[in-house]
Amino acid sequence: MTTFSRSERVGRHIRNTLADILHRHVRDPRLKRVSITSVDVSPDLRSARIYFATTGDDVKVKNALEGFKKARPYIKKLLGRELGLRYMPDIRFHYDDSLDYGARMEELFRSIEETDEHRHRPTE
């Protein structure tokens, strides 16, 4: 059986709670299409790096970062109520580009398959 460190458990709890907070309490339209992908909490539980993904271009990512910056005190207050920790970790938001990378790789594989199919078509 795998055991998880306290920081990993707190990170999962923050991710789930934050997703609920974004869905129910945050009204900023810049944060409507945002998904929390992961949370990395330091071993001393003093800081948390929150990674998010959103659909769209760089402008939407920038807008989401600005939305998180503005909503950060409110989010931190709501998280603090839910987590029940002695100290609320300092939270910082970061864009997770792994979904963009995965989509780009998928696009490349698809283009390779199309090229390969085109190249191996029997001639009549």
What residue segments make up the domains of the chain, in order of their start? 6-96
Please name the residue that has the structure tokens 């580009």. Answer: 97
For residue range 11-26, list pLDDT tens digits in order: 999 999 999 999 999 9
Fold of 6-96: GMP Synthetase; Chain A, domain 3 (3.30.300)
- 124/119 Cα distance (integer angstroms): 14
**Which of 47, 48, 91, 89 is closest to 68 using CA atoms?**
91
pTM over 0.85? The answer is no
Please name the residue that has the structure tokens 């910082």. Answer: 92
Six token digits for residue 43: 């071993």
For residue range 49-71, list pLDDT tens digits in order: 999 998 878 899 999 999 999 99
For residue range 72-121, list pLDDT tens digits in order: 999 999 999 988 888 899 999 999 887 666 667 777 778 877 776 666 66
**Which of 113, 120, 46, 58 is closest to 86 using CA atoms?**
46
At 27, phi and psi to the nearest 5?
Answer: -105, 0
β-strands 47-54, 34-41: how paired? antiparallel
